Amino acid sequence: MSSLFFVCFLAGLGLSVLSFLSGFQRGLHLPRFIRHAGLKKGKAGSMVNAAAIAAFLTWFGGSGVLLERLTPFIFPIVVGGAIAIGIAGGALINGAINALARRETPAQSLSMIGVIGKTVVPIRGADGTGEIVFTHAGTRRVAGARSENGRAITKGTEVVVTRYEKGIAYVVTWDDLKEA
């Protein structure tokens, strides 16, 4: 029985390391009825997921080896103890992952059209690319910028974004906007 515990420990530890290094815990999709088992609105995740299974195997295997070698308990008590410790370990790891997931917030959508910014790197004519700085959701952001009408725009000029393509904001000055 010692070899079963050892294999479970190595498999669980290997899957946990793989999960940590590659973000695999979100990549393994269990059937829908298992993923959503016991979920209520507002909960971050299921009790049965890849990370919980890997944690269970690791704790079950490790505690089974230790209980078998270091205690005088009979086989059913060792297996029962290993299962209990495995469930507790899986729940502990799953709780930590869910606590971190609850703190995540989706990125806010940003429509660049109409954003007001200031040039921090001048835009030199039709093919020139500069940079603008603007504030969104309390955060200062920077974007590459080109002049919409091909005119040069000096550093420190307040501009308005008219379109945004492939990471470049096309901007006009307030004076150019008045003329249009």
* Residuewise pLDDT in 10s, the chain (180 residues): 778 898 999 998 888 888 777 664 454 444 444 444 444 444 445 667 788 888 899 999 999 999 999 999 999 999 999 999 999 998 998 888 888 878 777 766 678 888 999 999 999 988 899 999 998 878 899 999 999 998 999 999 999 999 999 889 999 998 887 776
Q: Which residues pair with 123 in a beta bridge?
A: 153
Distance of CA 177 to the CA centre of its chain: 40
Q: Same structural domain for residues 31 and 88?
A: yes
> How far is the CA of 171 from the CAs of 109, 117, 134, 155, in angstroms?
20, 9, 12, 13
Structurally, the chain folds into a number of domains equal to: 2
> How far is the CA of 177 from the CAs of 26, 56, 115, in angstroms?
47, 63, 13
Is 46 part of any domain? yes
Number of CB atoms found within 10 A of residue 55's CB: 28
Asked which of 55, 80, 102 is the last residue of a domain, the reply is: 102
For position 144, which CATH number holds? 2.40.50.140
Q: Same structural domain for residues 66 and 39?
A: yes
Specify the pTM: 0.49
